[in-house]
Structure 1
Amino acid sequence: MTFDSKYEPFFQPPGWIVGPVWAVLYTCIAISFFMVLSRRTEINYSNIAIALFLTQLAVNLAWPSVFNDSKYFQSLLMIGVMIVFSTIYAYLIYDTEPNASYLIWPYIAWVTFAGIINAAYYLEAS
């Protein structure tokens, strides 16, 4: 989160760490997605998993602009969608491609942490 705000939760990570963390996480989720694509004929519900992944990715890409516009409740709902869809994706692919599933969990953890930060902003603004 690299924006100007008078309020910052004490547990918000410094801006210099956020970029590298996202770079690693996007690499992990991209690898996971390509692993799933390469075995999509073997994965039960692969079309659902792919749709969930792409939807949560689109929400992820839209989230910063919503959050930076101080729409904290809407951005918190978006994080909820990312967490739920990513978790279902990880579950659906686990049996056939467990390594692809494992690559998603750090992303889910980080997005959950971002949700806690987002909730702190929402509560402060309320």
Structure 2
Amino acid sequence: MPKSKIILIHLEEIFLTFNSEYQPFFQPPSWIIGPVWMVLYTMIAISFSIFLTKINEIDYFAIIVILFLIQLALNFTWSGVFNSANYLMSSLMILGMVIFTTIYAWLIYEHAPTASKLVWPYIAWVCFAGIINVAYYLNDITD
């Protein structure tokens, strides 16, 4: 399957829940979600490419690469669990793991501060997604 098709499927999953009946008042409109994710993934890719140039400077390089890849896999998993399957508590736990794995941004700061800073908006957006996830969860358990 071409990468562009995978991205479109991922974006389609994101829109599924964002068009549901309940929406928190602070939730951005669905048309903005896809472009924001595209910008964030671009920033993450640039960050990772900068980080790769520092391979000889960082002793724990392999650990950071593993954390980065786990974080990406968890992020894609979260989209499906939250949007398609609508497992709100499971998606919250996955987001917690995503946030934990972004510790790599702090681990690389000393050697690649620009690469680290490029990940910070992603971390903020994931935290915001967590707040939205909590709002859906609280609405779900009170209904």
**Smaller-chain TM-score range?**
over 0.9
Work out which of the residue numbers 32, 35, 41 in structure 1 matches 2:56. 41
Partner of 2:65: 50
Q: CA deviation at 1:38?
A: 2.0
Distance 1:44 1:78 in 2: 28
Range moving further from structure 2, 44-53 or 103-112: 44-53
Work out which of the residue numbers 77, 100, 119 in structure 2 matches 1:62. 77
Partner of 1:82: 98
Q: CA deviation at 1:63?
A: 1.1
Kindly provide the amino acid, as one letter, of the partner of residue 31 in structure 1.
I
Work out which of the residue numbers 43, 54, 63 in structure 2 matches 1:28. 43
* Percent of pairs with identical residues: 56
Structure 2 residue 89 is matched with structure 1 residue 73: yes
Structure 2 residue 137 is matched with structure 1 residue 122: yes
Distance 1:48 1:105 in 2: 19
Work out which of the residue numbers 21, 24, 28 in structure 2 matches 1:9. 24
Contact kept in structure 2, 1:9 and 1:117, CA below 8 Å: yes
1:46-96 deviation digits (Å, cap 9, x = unpaired): 11111101001001111111002110000011111111111x101110000
Distance 1:116 1:40 in 2: 35
Q: CA deviation at 1:8?
A: 0.7
Contact kept in structure 2, 1:44 and 1:92, CA below 8 Å: no
Q: CA deviation at 1:36?
A: 1.2
Gaps of 5+ in 2: 1-13
TM-score (ref. length: structure 2):
0.84
TM-score (ref. length: structure 1):
0.95
